[in-house]
Amino acid sequence: MAYTPSTMAPPKRKTGGGRVTPKGTQPGEQKKRASDDSTVTSSRDHVAASSRYTPKADRRQLIPPNMIPVIMCALLIIGGLVIMAGYLVGEANRWFTGVGLVCILGGLWFATKWE
């Protein structure tokens, strides 16, 4: 089958692009400004509701920041001691190992909270 130019779609016409609203305004602002001429404000005086940056909400810390490294070290040491105690007692069963690993993992979790 031969290629024929008549089967092609016609080329798109280039329309006049560009800015529709004045720089620094939004599409809904012109109507609002035209109806409210009593107060003259610029768009820089207030932050638009659609601004992109939203600051993070302050979270209340339950644990004081100076206690985090203390708790972290205590959990790591206790976890190691519990695992060693299981072997020293002579009954190295899974409970000693499990409790020791949970304490060590808790210490590592606190290590991620330390700033």
Q: Where are the domains of the chain?
A: 65-113
CA distance 113 to 29: 45
- Among 68, 72, 26, residue whose Cα is nearest residue 48: 26
Nearest to 76 by CA among 20, 31, 24, 114: 114
Q: How many residues does the chain have?
A: 115
> CA-to-CA distance for 60 and 71, rounded, in angstroms?
19
Contact 97, 83 (CB under 8 A): yes
Along the 115 residues of the chain, how does pLDDT read in single tens digits?
566 666 677 777 767 667 777 777 776 665 555 555 555 555 555 556 666 788 888 777 787 888 999 999 999 999 999 999 998 987 767 889 999 999 999 999 999 987 7
Tokens describing residue 18: 């560009």
User: With a threshold of 0.85, does the pTM exceed it?
Assistant: no
